[in-house]
């Protein structure tokens, strides 16, 4: 039974007990091996919240909670400043989280003035100020948010709070790690889509060395994510867990690129399983999961769990490439 979450303040929702989470984000077996080639468990984090779905909810929990305490101390209104592309799930979730928390928000978007998308329209409707930055500035912002000149011009009663791309602050890992305690068992393998790899690092933190994580990179040239996993675990105060494999050859041409076969697979999976998936993140990870099953990657008795990281809104902008 779903609770009426819309009417509850965001931090109250985020502070719910483990039992409540199990109801909000069910974990069950897709017993029909048909489309994936073996029975696979699925954890439906896409159902966590109507707008702040999946890993965004987990990743924002502790950064927002910390803010609540800081804001009480400083007496200033927080203004969440973050970055993303025009279809970014993170921008979308941050805009809603800020509005629900009574905070201001600014989105620094890779692009040029005049660009728009359904995601940006939703963000603006939640009060997020959108500013476009060129590619070079965007890249620099990843390391140094202070390069954005508008930072100094924010309203004096607001305190700018920087959230990195994808919400992948080290403290984001704590929220993801909690997910492991909601599972009915420790899976032998958890399959997850990787963008910044913070979600994978959070899963490793929660697993504490048990089982393994199979990460599917959704962008090309993603070998550097090994370094990111190590960095994030270290900065969040966890041991340097290495019980994971990162697969870098299932990106279908690059970030947000979608081949016809991937699109067909996502549609067929949705029809057969009743689970909606988009082709940018979870769809790519599921596609890879099926390929890995066929390649004999998983043991016969292995209990495999797919983490549905939500982000269905971002699928509105996925491009189809021909190949």
Ligand X SMILES: Cc1ncc(COP(=O)(O)O)c(C=O)c1O
Q: Which is nearer to ligand X, 13 or 222 (CB)?
A: 222
CB-based burial label for 82 (10 Å; 0-12, 13-18, 19+) = buried
Six-digit token string for 60: 């924002």
Burial classification of residue 276, based on how many CB atoms lie within 10 Å of its CB (0-12 exposed, 13-18 middle, 19 or more buried)? middle
In the complex, least distance from residue 310 CB atom to ligand X, rounded to whole angstroms: 5
- Quote the least distance from Cβ 56 to ligand X, whole Å: 7
Minimum separation from the CB atom of position 260 to ligand X (A) = 21
- Which is closer to ligand X, CB of 158 or CB of 231? 231
Closest CB to ligand X among 159 and 309?
309
Q: Contact positions toward ligand X, by CB under 6 A?
A: 54-55, 89-90, 166, 168, 193-199, 281, 309-311
Residue pair 97/89 in contact (Cβ under 8 Å)? The answer is no
DSSP-derived 3-state class of residue 90 = helix
| Minimum distance, C-beta of residue 46 to ligand X, in the bound complex (Å) | 8
Cβ nearer to ligand X, comparing 148 with 281 = 281
Closest CA to 320 of 237, 263, 282: 263
Contact call for residues 14 and 61 (beta carbons, < 8 A): yes
- The residue at minimum Cβ distance from ligand X is 311
User: CB 200 → ligand X: shortest distance, Å?
Assistant: 6
Per DSSP, the residues of 216-246 read EESSSS-TTHHHHHHHHHHHTT------EEE
d(CA 163, CA 148): 13
CB of 284 or CB of 298, closer to ligand X: 284
Q: Which is nearer to ligand X, 159 or 206 (CB)?
A: 206
Min dist CB 19 to ligand X, Å, is 25
């Amino acid at each position: 039974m779903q609770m009426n979450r819309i009417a509850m303040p965001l931090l109250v929702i985020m502070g719910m007990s483990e039992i409540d989470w199990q109801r909000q984000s069910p974990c069950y077996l897709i017993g029909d091996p048909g489309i994936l080639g073996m029975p696979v468990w699925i954890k439906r984090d896409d159902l966590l919240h109507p707008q702040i779905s999946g890993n965004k909810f987990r990743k924002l929990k502790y950064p927002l909670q910390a803010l609540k305490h800081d804001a009480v101390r400083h007496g200033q209104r927080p203004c969440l400043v973050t970055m993303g592309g025009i279809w970014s799930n993170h921008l979308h979730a941050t805009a809603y989280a800020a509005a629900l928390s009574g905070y201001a928000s600014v989105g620094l978007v890779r692009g040029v003035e005049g660009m728009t998308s359904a995601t940006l329209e939703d963000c603006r409707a939640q009060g997020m100020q959108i500013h476009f930055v060129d590619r070079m500035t965007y890249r620099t912002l990843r390391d140094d948010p202070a390069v954005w000149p508008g930072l100094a011009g924010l309203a004096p009663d607001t305190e700018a709070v920087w959230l990195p791309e994808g919400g992948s602050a080290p403290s984001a890992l704590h929220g993801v790690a909690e997910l492991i305690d909601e599972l009915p068992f420790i899976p032998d393998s958890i399959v997850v889509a990787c963008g910044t790899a913070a979600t994978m690092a959070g899963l490793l933190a929660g697993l504490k060395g048990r089982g393994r994580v199979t990460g599917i990179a959704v962008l090309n040239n993603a070998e550097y994510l090994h370094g990111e996993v190590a960095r994030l675990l270290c900065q969040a105060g966890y041991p340097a867990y290495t019980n994971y494999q990162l697969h870098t050859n299932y990106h279908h041409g690059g970030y947000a690129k979608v081949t016809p076969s991937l699109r067909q697979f996502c549609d067929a999976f949705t029809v057969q399983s009743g689970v909606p998936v988009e082709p940018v993140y979870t769809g790519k990870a599921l596609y890879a999961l099926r390929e890995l099953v066929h390649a004999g990657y998983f043991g016969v008795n292995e209990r495999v769990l797919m983490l549905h990281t939500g982000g269905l809104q971002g699928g509105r902008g996925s491009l189809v490439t021909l190949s």
